[in-house]
Amino acid sequence: MAPLLWQSQLGRDTIQRIVKHLVPDWTDGLRDWQLDIVSRILDGEDVLVSTATGDGKSAIFATPLLVLLELRRAPFYYPRLPCRVLPMGIVITPTKGLAANIVFETSKLGIRAIAYCSEVLTEARKTGRQIWKEIAAGEWPLVCVDPEHLTAKDWEHITNTDLWRANILFLCVDEIHLVRCPPHISVIGLSATMEPGVPTSTICDAMGFVSGHFHHLQRTNERPNIHFVLRTLTHTLGGNSFPDLLPYLAAGRKTVIYCETIELCFRVAVYLWGLLPSGLEKLTRVRLYHALCWPDENEETIRLICDDPHCQIVVATVAFAQGINVKPLLDCIQLGVPSTMNQIVQQEGRIGRDQVSLARGIVLVQAKAVESAIKYMHAHFPLEMGPPAPKATKASKRVSMKKKASKPTRLDIPKARLLVKDKCLILLRNTVYRNPPLELTARSCITACRRVPCSLCLPLSSITLEFPPPLRDPSHSPLAPFRTPPGLICTSQVSASQVSAKGELSLKPKMREEVMKSLDVFRNSIRKLEKGSDPTGCTPRAAYFPAPLATLVVTHLMSITAVEDIKLLLSDWVYLSGHATRLNELVLQLQEKFRAQHNEIRLLQNEKNRIRAKAKRDAASNEAGDTPDGNDELEDEADHDHKLVGVVVPSPSPVKPPTSSMKRAALSDDTNGSAPKCARRAPRAPQASSSEVSQSFGPRYRTRTDRSRRARITDENRID
């Protein structure tokens, strides 16, 4: 085994000397744990590092190349230590955005790096370059590649090159992938969310790490400068309005908003654009970052959020959370709870990268997600949840039985514990990842005296947190505030008769569909009337009456009483002045129709309630048996009324017999009533004697003792 020269005191001093000389911003050089990992990589050891986001993991694969390139440039200035002629390293990245960010960051250190992705390869083919030959020749010390391209034939040619095999220094993997490499290469695994136990052993097996033959560094991933907030959404994620975002965006702090899907990203961006003043500036204020954006567009978004003071918000998918370093970001809003605890920590890790600024990590959770987590924990971890909730009533028993029959939902256990947690959130996260030292991290924010407590511990502490906007250059114009979402304030009051009936002003789902169809016809009519005045002739049909405006009309349909209400509600509508009256007429027609339907439904329901109540009363009176027959009472009253002079009494209408019901009345006594009266039996007949019974089985005529053909038939022998 070769001596570990880089881990000696001479090697460690040389590393620190080179780093301080080439990177003046790192005044103290590498930190102790970084120096230990870099020296092990230079000696060819395998390492597995788990530490917090923003803790300096990128320096682990950049510093070895920096040191070896400096030794090759000026070998006479430094001691004789193991070196390579053309040091090279590979970083496997899960996303193209992360690869581009690594290339940008390492270029600041003077290291030539390239992202081996489809866009770079396409541009190279246009100019006749062959990237794989440049990599095999050692022209690029650092190569970022995604796992899909590692299976290409070009990489077979690269790995079979003798020059590349002799100079490759390390392979750094950000995700779990199994890659076969020569044994002298140092394999590096970096992660901020690696749970101890089975997840860690699975990663080691996937990367070929054998116990005792690699170095494992477990550091805490707690971020002491981030205020972790867990809130329940007051609205759903299926609509076009997201008012829960506005309180966090009003301060003007640079924020990233994570959405689960690209479609949700677009709806959030459109909502925020609609609350900003007209002009192209709002396209810079709110930016999109996802896989459907062009790569240069995503790179421009990162540049703007870093350098442009007018760029405040990035609405992104999880692609933005994979290791991208954007130091100006201060707030992170996760719209909807992610699928795992690891994703929550990774997405939150993009903010407060300088470890000094006070940052906020907000998770806005759907109410259904909390309910699912509670049910999951009660089913799988009943001891943690305590006594079960009270049983469902009879009215909801059918619904609960249907829900039990459905397929059980599988949840990430740490995430489920987080959603049902009623105490310190940071304590739970530290327990999941077993962040050292456990005697300090496994405490609540109050007990551990954290300077930035979580949202559950903050009300219990005496700490007051303020999140001011960042300092701005006076030469830059201030950010325009977000407008209050348009609401309806009717100028004319709704009459009391319109709101007296319960539920009259609420629309059923079928009514909403009918309104949307009517508004769609109204949109087509506007298009026919305004199409001639369209200067471009390319205005889409939806632009004449946008969907958000139609949603506003449906929501406030039964409260509109005048044209002024339409103008106040749809103040941003381009065609408001010419078509407000027509829209008001349509709304009034729909109101009249729906009110008639409401009244008809109400009358039918009242009639059913009366019949049901009368049937219950009749059933209760029949069971009691003490009251006289109702028909007799009616007949007596009718006879008495007929005796009155000049009074005409109508004949009573036939009453349907009450339906039998085994259920007692709601407020009746549940004790046993009086015993029913049984009918008296008839007297029993006297019992016949045995002789009488035996005679009944014999013939009913007398037998003849002497019978002959000549015997004369007498009256005694005749049948009675």
Name the percent of the chain in helix, strand, coil, to the closest 5: 45, 10, 45
In a domain, 619, yes or no: no
In a domain, 422, yes or no: yes
pLDDT recorded at residue 633: 47
pLDDT recorded at residue 494: 37
| Lookup result for tokens 């230079």 | 42
pLDDT recorded at residue 698: 62
Q: Helix or strand or coil: residue 517?
A: helix
In a domain, 297, yes or no: yes
By mean pLDDT, which of 188-202, 401-415, 569-583, 594-608 is the weakest? Answer: 401-415
pLDDT recorded at residue 672: 57
HSE-CB at 189 with a 13 A cutoff on CA atoms is 26
pLDDT at residue 699 greater than cutoff 90: no
pLDDT at residue 289 greater than cutoff 90: yes
In a domain, 1, yes or no: no
- Whether 189 and 306 share a structural domain: no
Q: Are 326 and 305 in contact (CB under 8 A)?
A: yes
* H runs (alpha helix) in 108-179: 118-126, 131-136, 153-159, 162-167
Task: Give the DSSP letter of residue 127.
Answer: T
- Whether 67 and 191 share a structural domain: yes
Percent of the chain with pLDDT over 70: 80
pLDDT digits (tens, 9 = 90+) for 248-280: 999 899 999 999 999 999 999 999 999 998 888
- Whether 277 and 329 share a structural domain: yes
pLDDT at residue 500 greater than cutoff 70: no
- Whether 522 and 586 share a structural domain: yes
CA distances from 441 to 192, 332, 354, 425 (A): 16, 23, 21, 12
pLDDT recorded at residue 497: 36
pLDDT recorded at residue 241: 87
- Whether 312 and 374 share a structural domain: yes
pLDDT recorded at residue 210: 81
In a domain, 633, yes or no: no
Residues 6+ apart with CB under 8 A from 572: 274, 486, 549
pLDDT recorded at residue 700: 61
Q: Based on DSSP, count helices (H) and strands (E) in the chain, helices before strands.
A: 28, 13
- Whether 311 and 339 share a structural domain: yes
* H runs (alpha helix) in 505-546: 509-530
pLDDT recorded at residue 14: 93
pLDDT at residue 503 greater than cutoff 50: no
Domain ends where: 177, 201, 218? 218
pLDDT recorded at residue 679: 61
pLDDT recorded at residue 76: 85
Distance of CA 555 to the CA centre of its chain: 24
pLDDT recorded at residue 598: 86
Angle, vertex CA 308, rays to CA 303 and CA 311, nearest 5: 90
pLDDT at residue 381 greater than cutoff 60: yes
pLDDT recorded at residue 180: 42
pLDDT recorded at residue 675: 57
- Whether 432 and 553 share a structural domain: no
User: Where does the pLDDT of residue 239 fall: very low under 50, low under 70, confident under 90, or very high at 90 and above?
Assistant: confident
Distance between start and end Cα atoms, the chain: 136
pLDDT recorded at residue 395: 47
- Whether 175 and 318 share a structural domain: no
* Of 132, 130, 126, 172, nearest in space to 149 by CA: 132
| Structural domains in the chain (count) | 3
pLDDT digits (tens, 9 = 90+) for 210-228: 888 888 888 888 999 999 9
pLDDT at residue 31 greater than cutoff 80: yes
- Whether 151 and 257 share a structural domain: no
Domain ends where: 201, 218, 235? 218
Helices 58-73/9-22 angle, 10° precision = 90
pLDDT digits (tens, 9 = 90+) for 421-445: 888 999 999 999 999 888 888 899 9
pLDDT digits (tens, 9 = 90+) for 453-487: 999 999 999 898 989 888 888 888 889 999 876 54
Domain boundaries, position 518: 496-530+540-598
In a domain, 201, yes or no: yes
Q: In whole angstroms, what is the distance from residue 341 CA to residue 401 CA? A: 31
> Does the pTM exceed 0.85?
no
User: Where does the pLDDT of residue 650 fall: very low under 50, low under 70, confident under 90, or very high at 90 and above?
Assistant: very low
Query: Diameter of the chain by CA atoms?
Result: 167
pLDDT at residue 231 greater than cutoff 70: yes
pLDDT digits (tens, 9 = 90+) for 520-542: 999 999 988 888 887 767 778 88
Q: 690: which 2 tokens?
A: 């045995």
pLDDT digits (tens, 9 = 90+) for 111-159: 999 999 988 999 999 999 999 999 999 999 999 998 888 888 899 889 8
pLDDT recorded at residue 449: 92
In this structure, the dihedral spanned by the alpha carbons of residues 196, 202, 203 and 205, taken in order and rounded to 10 degrees, is 130
Residues 6+ apart with CB under 8 A from 240: 267, 270, 271, 547, 548, 551
Q: Which of 27-31, 320-324, 471-475 has the highest mean pLDDT?
A: 27-31
In a domain, 620, yes or no: no
User: Where does the pLDDT of residue 643 fall: very low under 50, low under 70, confident under 90, or very high at 90 and above?
Assistant: very low
Task: Give the DSSP letter of residue 345.
Answer: H
CATH number assigned to the domain comprising residue 259: 3.40.50.300
Query: DSSP letters of 362-419?
Result: EEEE-HHHHHHHHHHHHHH-HHHH-SPPPPPPSTTHHHHHHHHHSPPPP--HHHHHHH
- Whether 427 and 549 share a structural domain: no
CA distances from 3 to 11, 167, 228, 328, 571 (A): 12, 19, 46, 44, 77
Q: 595: which 2 tokens?
A: 């009110």
- Whether 455 and 564 share a structural domain: no
Domain ends where: 218, 250, 275? 218
pLDDT at residue 176 greater than cutoff 70: no
pLDDT recorded at residue 572: 75
Burial group, residue 324, by CB count within 10 angstroms (0-12, 13-18, 19+): buried
pLDDT recorded at residue 719: 46
Q: Which helix (H) or strand (E) holds 687?
A: none
In a domain, 604, yes or no: no
Q: In whole angstroms, what is the distance from residue 46 CA to residue 40 CA? A: 8
- Whether 339 and 310 share a structural domain: yes
Percent of the chain with pLDDT over 90: 35
pLDDT digits (tens, 9 = 90+) for 51-95: 888 888 888 899 999 999 999 888 888 888 888 889 999 998 888
Q: In whole angstroms, what is the distance from residue 492 CA to residue 488 CA? A: 12
User: Where does the pLDDT of residue 303 fall: very low under 50, low under 70, confident under 90, or very high at 90 and above?
Assistant: very high
Average model confidence (pLDDT) for the chain?
81
Burial group, residue 387, by CB count within 10 angstroms (0-12, 13-18, 19+): exposed
